[in-house]
Amino acid sequence: MPLGLAIDPAALAALCQHYHVAKLELFGSRAKGTARPDSDVDLLVTFEEGQTPGLEFFGLADDLEHLVGRKVDLLTRPRVERDDNPIFRRGVLSAAEVLYAG
């Protein structure tokens, strides 16, 4: 796992399946290799087609924080793809590293 993230792949897969996650990607300082020891974990989630998580989104974020042992900043890929700021959009999407693909 990238930059000191000791994530159990089986636990991550089980969590993603529970929340109907199609893809989970790492971005930000941990993906770029510039993270500090106290850096949070920036994650990009794509849910399975037809899934609208609602409040479960926050449950996923909380469960991911417990799994990685750090604060998680969770964004959805469609939200980033629609973002009005092209610099932000390009920065996130170009650095995204797949952690899970179901």
Q: Could you tell me the domains of the chain?
A: 2-101 (3.30.460.10)
Q: What is the pTM for the complete model shown?
A: 0.90
Residues 51-85 have pLDDT tens digits of 888 889 999 999 999 999 999 999 999 999 999 99
Strand 97-101 vs strand 72-76: parallel, antiparallel, or unpaired? unpaired
Model confidence over 1-44: pLDDT tens digits?
455 677 889 999 999 999 999 999 999 988 888 888 888 999 99
Q: Which residues contact 73 (CB under 8 A, 6 or more apart)?
A: 28, 40, 41, 42, 43
